[in-house]
Structure 1
Amino acid sequence: MQQNTLHIALVGNPNSGKTSLFNGLTGLNQKVGNFPGVTVDKKTGATTLSSGEAQVIDLPGSYSLYPRRLDEWVSYKVLLNQDHGIKADVVVVVADASNLKRNLLFCSQLIDLKQPVVMALTMLDLAEKKGIRVDVAALERELGIPVVAVNPRKNKGLPQLKKAIEQTAQGLYQPPAYDFVDVKALAGDAITDVQKLFPQISNYTAVHYLINHESFLLNDGTQQQIEDIETKHKFNHTRIQAEEILQRYQRINHIMTRTVSEPDPLRQSLITEKIDNVLLHRVWGYVILLAVLYLTFQSLFWLASYPMDWIDAGTANFSGWLEQQLPDNNWTDLLINGLIAGLGGIIIFVPQIAIMFGLIAILEDTGYMARISFLTDRIMRKVGLNGKSVMPMISGFACAIPAVMSARNIENRKERLLTILITPLMSCTARLPVYVILISLVIPDQKVLGFMNLQGLVMLGLYLLGFVMALVVSYVAKWFIKIKEKSFFVLELPTYHAPRWGNVLQSMWEKSKIFVLQAGRVILVISLVLWLLSSFGPGGRMEKVEAQYEQALAQPGADTATLDIEYANQKLANSYIGIVGHAIEPAIRPLGYDWKIGIALITSFAAREVFVGTMATLYSVEDDGEENLPLQEKMHAATRADGSPVYTIGTGVSLMLFYVFAMQCMSTLAIVRRETKSWKWPVIQVIYMTALAYLFGLLAYSVL
């Protein structure tokens, strides 16, 4: 008979080496998804033990068994056996040897749950560099659980860890008979009454039933019974938690003196303090922060431009080759301009996503990310955010997609939601082609104060306007989002050290894969829908266009190339999306836009940069992607029915402001939908951003 699969849960503090251990145990046998009902990464994988295959689940990082963040609640419910889908047979707690005291708090709490626990002690090499020596055998005796030293990156200690896991699962290692902390002395009567309802649970587990039973899988009758016990014994959550933590650290201090030798703490922190005296300076700290963000921003542009250009050129060449090989029909058009164009629109974002998350991982690994959050917290908190909101916002200048995804690091749900809602107001790289062509069209190339270029100042102003409006929107929205959750900005400033390049590459790979597999499907579907709407129209209209084209071709000396361009324009004007463009023209005319701009607004919903390509088609210009001058001339010469120019200073500025504020990016909406698990917030984003875009566009056109 086949044995049941052993389920191993990996837990530990953030940045304790848990991900490296997970990768070392599972290799390529990994799956990444989400926990049911929440947008928290769920990583599972298979590993081989002597008794057969085992399943490993990498639970989100936690500092203690008192959860505050959404991802900590996920781990908490699994560890307290309150998750229907996950049952851990063995818990492997990953502890950083270089920060052992902090890690032992969580470990001691897990021990008191009386579940099978094994400690994997990581980063001993880093500890040794700091002059820290850990007596592993003594630590094992003090804790009463197996302790195994591992270095996953060098494949050291993994066989010993697997053996300890198996022996623990087989009952060769039993949980310690005595509690790490005597919680029964803190609330004995209440604990006894809870254990009458659940005879199998430990003393410490009973404490958590008293504190968090509202979030447990219990029926209404049981919930009321626990409430009655709390009332009867006047159970005080805050007091019990504080006293328990205090007693745990007293015991941990005793264990540390018996098992760990450390250098002088003052000498250990001296280097970090010297660096922090500069990086956290009241003045120079912000100057250095701006320089770091500028370099990060510029590095993203520089590094991502090469692979994005290769992808763009490769997609274009492949499409051109297919066009020559395949017959000229609707199926070919669907394949090239629908499917392949849609796939190209997905893949071209991957370099930005990968590089951005790589750069963020480097900032996190070196310890500087925590300093960024610390420096900006005071400013961000005034508008309803906190210090951890600044990196998603800065990331939004490159691309809103990875920026929205990186907001997961914000523990408070309200602050995380506010960050997601305002991040698309940052002017991303996709807006850049729109800004460039409109600025060159309506803003004169002249100097201001003798040395500053007016066009460059307008470009800078557009970027700053988006950032300022994001802060304003956050300040207003914080009064309307009724999520009552206390915000604690508790931040540990880690010591500085070199980034772990394996972690950086792993982060780049995982985030890119999530984007391609999750958001990519939505983008592809909408791309195909847009192709259908722009390629087909009502039968009578399209037949009339076809007849006129055939008649013109039959004329002697007909210019085939010119007729083909005119035919394509007429087809677009009479397609379903062209009809929509004419239909919305009355609504956008107050902004100074004609129906052609209306079509560009619709098509650029797929991606903002599509505006330029749409304009090129509409104005019968073959845009090779390398030179915009012919398109600029055509747009400059474009006139309305009364002969007045379309692109005046008023129309141009209005259109620039519209693109600063409008949510013209379906891929961002797809990511927001995925991150919030609801269409409510993407719809709110579309409404408020479109309203802002229309209002500022109207004001600009009316004034100018």
Structure 2
Amino acid sequence: MAELIHPEEKIEIKAAVTKPITKIALIGNPNSGKSSLFNQLTGLNQKVGNFPGVTVDKKTGICQLAPQQKARIIDLPGTYSLYPKSLDEKVIIDLLYNQQSDLYPDLVIVTADASNLKRNLLLFTQLVDLQIPAVLALNMMDVAEKDGVKINMEQLQQDLGVPIIPVNARTGSGIAALKIVISQQLPVPNRAFFQIPEEFSGLIKPIRQYFNLQTDYLAWHFAHQYKNLTFLSETDKRFLSDLLGQYSFNSNTLQASETINRYTLINELLLDSVRVEKADTNEKFSNRLDQILTHKIWGYLIFFGVLFMMFQAIFAWATYPMDLIDEGITAINNFIQARFDGPLINLLTEGVIAGLGGILIFIPQIALLFAFIAILEETGYMARVTFMMDKIMRKFGLNGKSIVPLISGVACAVPAVMAARNIDNWKDRMITIFVTPLMSCSARIPVYTVLIALVVPEKYYLGFLNLQGMVLMGLYLLGFTAAVLSAWVMKLILKARERSYFIMEFPVYKMPRWKNVGLTIIEKVKAFVFEAGKVIIAISIILWVMASYGPGNRVAQAEQTVQQQAQQYNWTPAETSLHLSTQKLEASYAGVLGRAMEPVIRPLGFDWKIGIALLTSFAAREVFVGTISTIYSVGDEENIKTIKEKLLSEKDEAGQIFFTPARAFSLLIFYVFAMQCMSTLAVVYRETKSWKWPIMQLFYMSGLAYVCSFIVYQIFK
């Protein structure tokens, strides 16, 4: 058992407490336990926003340090160094180098893996050289003990010159001591770990004077990274460019030299304070498990088994709460409509509440998907999955982490797009988000079922291979092929200055911390409901208005015509209601737009009625069946046989069967590729922080759907 010295009581804070710390930046290497520590400090008092100009989330939270003292914790992206390798990591230098920023911290908490101090201290020494007050939170002490790592905390604290608090972010051990320390006004570290080379002193001095910087090391970073600092003006950047031109300043070479010098010093420091005595139990559980879970054959089989279980849960388990939500929304609507009447009530029930139902119904799928992802990440298995898949996915412009969003898209593109935020590289993440909606989601199933039943005979081959089932499987494979090929094309088109690296550290296997899993679920659900939800409700209201009202008195004339026909032909109230809904829809703005669309969609074999279905199903693909049911006067949209019989009896203007195989297959292909989901567009906007990407998706997928549908119809007609 390792012998650890816990020096909470020995930490001396020399500066008097004069004011509470209001802003604290939390930073550390990936897999150092930073996210777990953030959750321990903030609990449910978290807020997700975004850093200006980038796609990475800004997570902040309120920490109660003392009864009368709170601090704002800013969770920065994980990084190994202050020399960023990705666009997301650049938010760190934008924050820490700009003292005028609203988020500039009063204090930095650096999380470090106690079992791998050498690697973690590189980032720590860089931060100390910026002379920002700092605390080192030494995490994973239990892992260090098991690995036979003995740490003399008192000596290490003396060598590093900052308070060190041993913590276990998974269990909460040491959090109280950490709060006590960060509630004080800590002094600026007086230890320097790196000296600027003497030949560049003439470069550093004018930079410090021009920008009024406090340290040479910050001026050193301005020289290295001025092109990446968004808060600098073009005039500032020209000044630095001209100044650097006077020196032989090779940034890559100097960064490498600095890293070597820092590691040399870190090695010397750790000789005094850290001893490693390998325990018999040290290894080897994780390595032995990796031999199976990352095996070139068994590893993939196990992974696909895990995916099968995940999607069984998303398809099967989510059905019950989704049905309850759907029934609840319907019950609320029926309750309101039974007691009140009028246009505003219709807007509330058919527009606002129905739109709200379209948001809430996704919650079970989102919660289940991110529960699985959080568990896989917490246990350490997700790192192995991304490692295995990277070699395959990289050929198509993606990386190993893209596999989860792509396969998640089979259930629903909304949580799948949200899952892409785990991809560090900007280009890989954008490509993944862009192509994920091409995967056939569960919302397409009602469309596929109706149209396949129309034109594909129910035949069996070899006694068990159903022809309709094989066509359905072919549609799913077609969507996957389109996603992969589109990713390959985007790889050639999309330019990014950052190179795609895949550096993956395998964390040890461990039991998930259920608090973190729960917080992850709550965070993702809140992000969807409050961000994407606003857009969904707005579009739902617009679609309701378009389908409920028409130009002039056309809707009123349609009602009058149907009433006259009902008396003439002795229709029952049910028949009258069905014809009335059809005529009102045709006379509405949606009907007018459908007629206006007809010349454009006629080459695909579609008429104005299908045009309305295409328009209304933009809210969600599954709305297609309900719209078709109303247009063709089919009362029960759940009765597929009734819809099938009605569609088969539908005639065109020449009196021929309208839904020929050519039209049905054209419509099927259109729905395989088309972006008929406002929820997905809303969440893509939320994830990319820009309307550029969802608009590009809409035009690309709609264009692809149109061209492929046109080709299919022209071939089969």
Q: Residue in 2 aligned with 1:435? A: 448
Instruction: Normalising by structure 1, report the TM-score.
Output: 0.93
Structure 1 residues 614-662: Cα deviation after superposition (integer angstroms, max 9, x where no partner):
122122222264x422222222222222222222222222211111100
Instruction: Normalising by structure 2, report the TM-score.
Output: 0.92
Q: Which moved more, 1:478-487 or 1:665-674?
A: 478-487
Q: Residue in 2 aligned with 1:74? A: 91
- In structure 2, the CA distance between the partners of 1:556 and 1:208, relative to structure 1 (3 Å rule), is closer
Aligned residue for 2:162, secondary structure, equals coil
**Which of 382, 392, 398 pairs up with 1:369?**
382
**Which of 301, 309, 316 pairs up with 2:330?**
316
2: CA distance between counterparts of 1:435 and 1:86? 50
1: CA distance between counterparts of 2:133 and 2:253? 28
Letter in 1 for 2:614: L
Q: Residue in 1 aligned with 2:114? A: 97
2: CA distance between counterparts of 1:49 and 1:278? 45
- Counterparts of 1:217-228 in structure 2, within 5 Å, are 217-228=231-242
User: Is 2:45 aligned against 1:29?
Assistant: yes
1: CA distance between counterparts of 2:416 and 2:99? 32
1: CA distance between counterparts of 2:317 and 2:153? 44
Say if 1:190 and 1:235, in contact at 8 Å, map to a contact too: no
The count of corresponding residues between Structure 1 and Structure 2 is 697
Letter in 2 for 1:239: T
Aligned residue for 2:136, secondary structure, equals strand
Say if 1:77 and 1:83, in contact at 8 Å, map to a contact too: no
2: CA distance between counterparts of 1:283 and 1:164? 50
User: Is 2:169 aligned against 1:156?
Assistant: no
- The structural deviation recorded for 1:226 is 2.9
Say if 1:184 and 1:203, in contact at 8 Å, map to a contact too: no
1: CA distance between counterparts of 2:366 and 2:106? 36
- The structural deviation recorded for 1:566 is 0.6
Letter in 2 for 1:37: G
1: CA distance between counterparts of 2:645 and 2:199? 81
- The structural deviation recorded for 1:349 is 0.9
**Which of 304, 307, 330 pairs up with 1:290?**
304
- Counterparts of 1:399-410 in structure 2, within 5 Å, are 399-410=412-423
- The structural deviation recorded for 1:192 is 4.6
- In structure 2, the CA distance between the partners of 1:325 and 1:127, relative to structure 1 (3 Å rule), is farther
Moved over 6 A (4+): none
**Which of 663, 666, 684 pairs up with 2:675?**
663
Q: Residue in 2 aligned with 1:629? A: 641
Structure 1 residues 494-544: Cα deviation after superposition (integer angstroms, max 9, x where no partner):
222222222211111101101111110000000000000000012232222
- In structure 2, the CA distance between the partners of 1:617 and 1:265, relative to structure 1 (3 Å rule), is farther
2: CA distance between counterparts of 1:489 and 1:152? 27
- In structure 2, the CA distance between the partners of 1:53 and 1:499, relative to structure 1 (3 Å rule), is closer
Say if 2:63 and 2:72, in contact at 8 Å, map to a contact too: yes
- In structure 2, the CA distance between the partners of 1:266 and 1:489, relative to structure 1 (3 Å rule), is farther
Q: Residue in 2 aligned with 1:654? A: 666
1: CA distance between counterparts of 2:273 and 2:55? 40
- The structural deviation recorded for 1:148 is 1.0
- In structure 2, the CA distance between the partners of 1:29 and 1:491, relative to structure 1 (3 Å rule), is closer
Q: Which moved more, 1:440-449 or 1:515-524?
A: 440-449
Structure 1 residues 463-503: Cα deviation after superposition (integer angstroms, max 9, x where no partner):
11111111111222223223332221222222222222222
Structure 1 residues 32-68: Cα deviation after superposition (integer angstroms, max 9, x where no partner):
2222232322222333345633222222222211112
**Which of 393, 408, 413 pairs up with 2:406?**
393
Q: Residue in 2 aligned with 1:678? A: 690
2: CA distance between counterparts of 1:592 and 1:440? 18
- The structural deviation recorded for 1:198 is 5.2
Say if 2:351 and 2:541, in contact at 8 Å, map to a contact too: yes
- The structural deviation recorded for 1:85 is 2.5
Q: Which moved more, 1:608-617 or 1:131-140?
A: 131-140
Say if 2:194 and 2:258, in contact at 8 Å, map to a contact too: yes
- In structure 2, the CA distance between the partners of 1:83 and 1:666, relative to structure 1 (3 Å rule), is farther
Letter in 1 for 2:506: L
Q: Residue in 1 aligned with 2:552? A: 539
2: CA distance between counterparts of 1:10 and 1:604? 44
Say if 2:314 and 2:369, in contact at 8 Å, map to a contact too: yes
- In structure 2, the CA distance between the partners of 1:381 and 1:557, relative to structure 1 (3 Å rule), is closer
1: CA distance between counterparts of 2:235 and 2:620? 53
Q: Residue in 1 aligned with 2:711? A: 699
Aligned residue for 1:70, secondary structure, equals coil
2: CA distance between counterparts of 1:564 and 1:585? 26
- Counterparts of 1:223-622 in structure 2, within 5 Å, are 223-264=237-278, 268-327=282-341, 329-552=342-565, 558-622=571-635
- The structural deviation recorded for 1:577 is 0.5
- The structural deviation recorded for 1:297 is 2.2
Q: Residue in 1 aligned with 2:29? A: 13
2: CA distance between counterparts of 1:493 and 1:4? 38
Q: Which moved more, 1:411-420 or 1:234-243?
A: 411-420
Letter in 2 for 1:655: L
2: CA distance between counterparts of 1:24 and 1:483? 36
- The structural deviation recorded for 1:425 is 0.4
- In structure 2, the CA distance between the partners of 1:684 and 1:265, relative to structure 1 (3 Å rule), is farther
Q: Which moved more, 1:533-542 or 1:284-293?
A: 284-293
Aligned residue for 1:93, secondary structure, equals strand
- The structural deviation recorded for 1:605 is 0.4
**Which of 109, 125, 141 pairs up with 2:142?**
125
Letter in 2 for 1:293: L
Q: Residue in 1 aligned with 2:6? A: none
Letter in 2 for 1:231: G
Q: Residue in 1 aligned with 2:8? A: none
RMSD: 2.4
- The structural deviation recorded for 1:603 is 0.6
- The structural deviation recorded for 1:193 is 5.0
* Unpaired stretches in structure 2, ≥5 consecutive residues: 1-17
- The structural deviation recorded for 1:553 is 5.3
Aligned residue for 1:479, secondary structure, equals helix
- The structural deviation recorded for 1:555 is 5.8
Letter in 1 for 2:245: T
